[in-house]
């Protein structure tokens, strides 16, 4: 079953933007990154590899678009790195804080991004407006799932290299998505073909750590 799924996703070249070391591509068969697999392993090695990995199966309930990174257009880091991360834990009397994972302008599913992306390749003002409307709606759906909305959010971020101004006031500000300001990261979503991503959060206290 897995072989059949992978065979249908076969491609000629690597889907990664960065070159893969030659020692890692011997006898490699490249596929479109549309499936999510669960892998158990002992720990990460210093070289960034999994020690003793064990394949545990595909996860059809997980969205392959969900990533932990974006791609800055300028001042790019020298190597992949984390700017921030979040975790949750129960606490008595907590205010109901949340962090909503980022979403780009693509429907979930196993079709190609070209097939399920809103206005694929269209970065005109009208195209970007439709992309933003889709993503704003996705943010609202995810907040509603935990009983929250824009009035509860304390921060919102946008990731795009295209102009927000044509729809900033009437689509973002008017619905309350920028009531505490809006952070615009001049960066691309981590999937080629996606042009607009957002995330949001509600936290009572934030600390910035120097590392």
**Chain mean position to CA 75:** 20
* Stretch 20-27: mean pLDDT: 83
What is the rounded distance in angstroms from the CA atom of residue 205 to the CA atom of residue 98? 12
How many helices (H) and strands (E) the chain has is answered by 4, 10
Domain positions in the chain:
2-58, 71-202
Domain 71-202 fold is 60s Ribosomal Protein L30; Chain: A; (3.30.1330)
Q: 149: which 2 tokens?
A: 């909305």
Contacts of 12 (CB under 8 A, 6+ apart): 30
- Is the pLDDT at 25 greater than 80? The verdict is yes
pLDDT digits 0-9 by tens, 156-169: 999 999 999 999 99
Nearest C-alpha neighbor of 36 from the set 55, 49, 54, 51: 55
* Stretch 52-65: mean pLDDT: 79
Q: Which CATH superfamily is domain 2-58 in?
A: Nucleic acid-binding proteins (2.40.50.140)
* Stretch 143-152: mean pLDDT: 94
Which range, of 31-35, 38-42, 50-54, 90-94, averages the lowest pLDDT? 90-94
* Band of residue 5 on the pLDDT scale cut at 50, 70, 90: confident
71-78, Cβ contacts within 8 angstroms, sequence gap of 24 or more: 71/17, 71/187, 71/188, 71/189, 71/190, 72/185, 72/186, 72/187, 73/161, 73/186, 73/187, 73/188, 74/186
Nearest C-alpha neighbor of 72 from the set 186, 150, 180: 186
Residue 109's alpha-carbon distances to 33, 57, 102, in angstroms, are 12, 18, 16
What is the rounded distance in angstroms from the CA atom of residue 140 to the CA atom of residue 158? 14
């Amino acid at each position: 079953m897995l072989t059949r799924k992978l065979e249908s996703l076969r491609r000629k070249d690597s889907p990664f933007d960065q070159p893969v070391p030659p020692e890692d591509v011997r006898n490699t068969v490249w596929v479109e990154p549309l499936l999510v697999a669960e892998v158990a392993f002992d720990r990460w090695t210093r070289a960034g590899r999994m020690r003793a990995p064990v394949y545990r199966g595909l996860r059809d309930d997980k969205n392959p678009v969900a990533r932990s990174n974006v791609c800055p257009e300028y001042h790019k880091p020298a190597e992949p790195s984390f700017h921030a991360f979040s975790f949750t834990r129960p606490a008595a009397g907590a205010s109901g804080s949340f962090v909503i994972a980022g979403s780009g302008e693509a429907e979930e599913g196993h079709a190609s991004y070209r097939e399920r992306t809103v206005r694929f390749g269209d970065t005109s003002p009208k195209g970007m407006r439709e992309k933003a409307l889709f993503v704003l709606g996705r943010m609202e759906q995810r907040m509603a799932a935990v009983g929250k909305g824009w009035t509860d959010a304390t921060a919102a971020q946008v990731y795009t290299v295209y102009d927000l101004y044509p729809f900033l006031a009437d689509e973002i500000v008017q619905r309350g998505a920028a009531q505490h300001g809006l952070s615009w990261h001049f960066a691309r979503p981590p999937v080629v073909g996606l042009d607009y991503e957002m995330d949001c959060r509600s936290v009572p206290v934030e600390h910035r750590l120097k590392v």
